Amino acid sequence: MKLGLNQLITPDENGYFGQFGGKIDHPELKKALQEIEDGFHSIQSDENFQKELRELRDNYVGRPSPIYHAKNLSQNGANIYFKREDLNHTGSHKINHCLGEVLLAKKLGKKKVIAETGAGQHGVALATAAALLNLECEIHMGVVDIKKEHPNVSRMRILGAKVVPVSEGAGTLKEAVDSAFSTYLENPQDVMFAIGSVVGPAPYPEMVSYFESIVGHEAKEQFQNQFSGLPNEVVACVGGGSNAMGIFNAFLDDQQVKLVGVEPGGEGIDKPGRHAATITHGKVGLLHGFYCYFIQDEKGEPGAVHSVASGLDYPGVGPQHCYLHDLKRVDYAVADDDECMQAFLTLSRKEGIIPALESSHAIAYALREAKKHDNDYHILVNLSGRGDKDIDYVLEHLELE
């Protein structure tokens, strides 16, 4: 396993990062995932693939996304900066790995991509990439999230994707993953599972992290050019952990840069079932085919979770995060629902940027942290997505003046 020279952390040959991650045992799925893994390894040195991906990033997504110094938020403490992944086509970082995954599916001769979605951002990004590259797309989404994130459901349908409502259990992200995986198993020959984060068995954590690492590489170079140095802290929200791995990767070797992943504290971390602070409150176990910290009930089954942000209420977290936590290279903090809603409003009203509720967790932490420092301290936040999808929910739940 490698952790060095600003490279990705790569797993060992069995898909493990320390004790986390792993490969699937299921015989048929094992074969299908090995095909994807082999394909993924081959595209890393495939110049045509890389050229096509680069052109799409530049001219379709609109990369590089800018870094913005939020001067209005930086009046009474540290300086806060945003890596503007919300400005990408489709409105979040998810398009970075979706284009990679769909290009790979096409190269492998697949006819269709299938995935889960929570907030709908991964679903929209995948439906977009599939429309562009002419593949069928099927998205599984919990009924609770369908109601909450309905603008994204409409976008997926308009883009030609089939949206499958999942009503089992809590009707949120975990059940959507279960449902998408079991449908995928029916026909892994023609279909590629295009997971939405750095979770699942090998090769997904490494592969999604690879496609997302463009965020950190750009951010590091831009920050050095614009502000002549490195930030003191880099902050990102953590659901499964893809936007966080995307920005952290490039800074892993810069030990002077503090890296902070912000987990959803929901209604309070003292309330079992009402938060999704996986790393800070989970136990190690096997979830969806990979070992990670996950929230468990008394029987060791995935426990109930909650977050105001649909994209964060998953009981598990990517294996790289678990590993980086144990290595003490990344700190994991918590922001709760109320703090997140306030941060959503603060960014909207002070900087004219409406953030996704997921990203608002990282903003909430940054606002709290900035007060502890002077203006010679610099905090870079990954603004992972825009909040258009969340405006109805916020209007229903916050009393605006």
Ligand X SMILES: Cc1ncc(COP(=O)(O)O)c(C=O)c1O
Asked if 238 is part of the footprint of ligand X (rule: CB under 6 A), the reply reads yes
Q: How many C-alpha atoms does 127 have within 13 Å on its Cβ side?
A: 23
d(CA 66, CA 57): 14
Asked if 105 is part of the footprint of ligand X (rule: CB under 6 A), the reply reads no
Chain-centroid distance of CA 216 in Å reads 13
- The site that binds ligand X (CB under 6 A) totals a number of residues, namely 20
Q: Work out how close the CB of 196 gets to ligand X at its nearest, in angstroms, rounded to a whole number.
A: 7
Paired with 301 in beta bridges are: none
Contact positions with ligand X (CB under 6 A) in 64-83:
none
End-to-end CA distance of the chain: 53
Which one, 79 or 310, has the nearer CB to ligand X?
310
- Write the DSSP assignment of 6-23 as a string of letters: TPPPB--TTSEETTEE--
Asked if 262 is part of the footprint of ligand X (rule: CB under 6 A), the reply reads no
- Write the DSSP assignment of 225-265 as a string of letters: HHHSS--SEEEEE-SSSHHHHHHHGGGTT-TTSEEEEEEEE
Asked if 240 is part of the footprint of ligand X (rule: CB under 6 A), the reply reads yes
Local structure of residue 92 (DSSP, 8 states): B
Q: Which of 15, 118, 203, 319 binds ligand X (CB under 6 A)?
A: 118
Q: Which of 171, 188, 216, 241 binds ligand X (CB under 6 A)?
A: 241
Contact positions with ligand X (CB under 6 A) in 286-315:
311-312
Asked if 213 is part of the footprint of ligand X (rule: CB under 6 A), the reply reads no
Q: Please classify residue 336 by burial: count the beta carbons closer than 10 Å to its beta carbon, then call 0-12 exposed, 13-18 middle and 19+ buried.
A: buried
- Write the DSSP assignment of 152-176 as a string of letters: HHHHHHHTTPEEEEE-STTSSHHHH
Q: Which stretch binds ligand X (CB under 6 A): 62-70, 183-191, 240-248, 322-330?
A: 240-248
Asked if 359 is part of the footprint of ligand X (rule: CB under 6 A), the reply reads yes
Asked if 96 is part of the footprint of ligand X (rule: CB under 6 A), the reply reads no
Which one, 137 or 238, has the nearer CB to ligand X?
238
Q: Work out how close the CB of 325 gets to ligand X at its nearest, in angstroms, rounded to a whole number.
A: 14
Residue ranges that bind ligand X, judged by CB under 6 A: 92, 118-119, 121-122, 197, 237-243, 311-312, 356, 358-359, 384-385
